[in-house]
């Protein structure tokens, strides 16, 4: 029979050896974690993170292409990193070829969602890039071009998205039309009608069609604007639609809350998108675009991607009827 002291020593030796082995095996993980934490802690000055005005004068026919802008907008193509927050979910995003829609599409795919995007046929070059980025993440990317001013198309768009994705969990009403006009007399009835149908009617038609497919836990997100709260004198019709979108968001949140469907909005300030170079701003405003914000520059679509993710994330289950602003320190909300 072993002596008690010898037995105790043996146990101590074994425990010491096991501890040393465990420590050695965890060193690589700890080093990696420390490296990750160190990387996450890197600070960036938001005033110089992206290009600042003055910008060069440039114009494109509506609706414009992000790929032809100078500088090219950042939609998170190389910067957004996902963490599985939307794994297995299915999203339809209008205006998904550029701007906030493109940023949301990229982010959703990297968070594990399959994504269908809608856009105008003239925006096909931008849309192809988005679909490629979605598929690069191993997710399904579905291109559904067409004009949202047509009710029948909006209904078909939802049905086509549901068929291609196998269902629908997230609807992002993001597509918008913005054309500046110095005077009310410069806004023709045809132009007014186009803005109303693109920004309001389509939102109504798409949401109505989607409700047949959305289950408890689903999310609807509208892209509204600071124009809903603080309208510019030369964006009268656009501002009207954004105020309507904000109110629609709050009304639908109350109506759909009992059904377990959340409805929220995002209100961007000056963001560098094709809207600005395709008639949405005068050349004078374009050159100094974003200069009057506290950060001294326009925002980039990539800077709003995380907001769209947060509002779609099931973990944000108590957020509904809210409007999340991102305006560089100016505007509301």
Q: Sign of the CA dihedral 29, 30, 33, 39?
A: negative
- 317 — phi, psi (to 5°)? -70, -15
**What residues contact 333, with CB distance under 8 A and at least 6 apart?**
229, 267, 323, 324, 325
Instruction: Report the half-sphere exposure of 235 (CA within 13 A, side-chain side).
Output: 24
Contact between 105 and 115 under an 8 Å Cβ cutoff? The reply is yes
CB atoms within 10 A of CB 287: 15
Residue 302 Cα distances to 136, 251, 326, angstroms: 18, 28, 11
Q: Which of 50, 238, 308, 324 is the catalytic position? A: 238
Cα angle for residues 193, 201, 183 (degrees, 5° grid): 35
Q: Which of 112, 114, 113, 115 is nearest to 127 (CA)?
A: 115
CA 293 to chain CA centroid, Å, is: 21
Instruction: Return d(Cα 36, Cα 19) in angstroms, integer.
Output: 25
CB 69 within 8 A of CB 97: no
Give yes or no: 119 in active site: no
Catalytic residues: 238
């Amino acid at each position: 029979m072993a002596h008690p002291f010898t037995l105790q020593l043996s146990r101590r030796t074994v425990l010491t050896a096991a501890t040393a082995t465990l420590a050695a095996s965890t060193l690589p993980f700890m080093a990696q974690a420390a490296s990750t934490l160190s990387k996450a802690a890197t600070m960036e000055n938001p005033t110089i993170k992206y290009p600042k005005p003055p910008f060069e004068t440039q114009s494109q026919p509506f609706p414009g292409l992000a790929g032809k802008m100078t500088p090219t907008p950042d939609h998170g193509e190389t910067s957004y990193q996902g963490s599985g927050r939307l794994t297995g979910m299915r999203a339809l995003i209008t205006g998904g070829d550029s701007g906030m829609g493109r940023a949301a599409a990229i982010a959703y795919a990297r968070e594990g969602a399959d994504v269908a995007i809608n856009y105008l046929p003239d925006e096909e070059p931008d849309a192809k890039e988005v679909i490629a980025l979605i598929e690069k993440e191993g997710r399904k990317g579905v291109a559904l071009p067409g004009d949202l001013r047509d009710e029948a198309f909006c209904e078909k768009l939802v049905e086509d998205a549901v068929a291609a994705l196998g269902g629908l969990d997230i609807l992002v009403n993001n597509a918008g039309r913005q054309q500046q006009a110095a005077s009310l007399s410069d806004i023709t009835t045809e132009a007014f009608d186009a803005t109303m149908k693109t920004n309001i009617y389509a939102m109504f038609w798409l949401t109505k069609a989607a409700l047949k497919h959305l289950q408890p836990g689903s999310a609807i997100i509208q892209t509204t604007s600071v124009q809903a709260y603080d309208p510019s004198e030369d964006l009268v019709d656009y501002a009207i639609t954004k105020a309507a979108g904000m109110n629609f968001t709050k009304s639908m949140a109350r109506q759909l809350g009992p059904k377990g469907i959340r409805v929220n909005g995002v209100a961007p300030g000056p963001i560098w998108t094709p809207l600005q170079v395709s008639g949405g701003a005068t050349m004078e405003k374009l050159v100094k675009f974003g200069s009057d914000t506290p950060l001294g520059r326009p925002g980039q679509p990539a800077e709003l991607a995380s907001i769209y993710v947060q509002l779609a994330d099931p973990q944000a289950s108590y957020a509904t009827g809210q409007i999340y602003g991102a305006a560089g320190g100016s505007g509301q909300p």
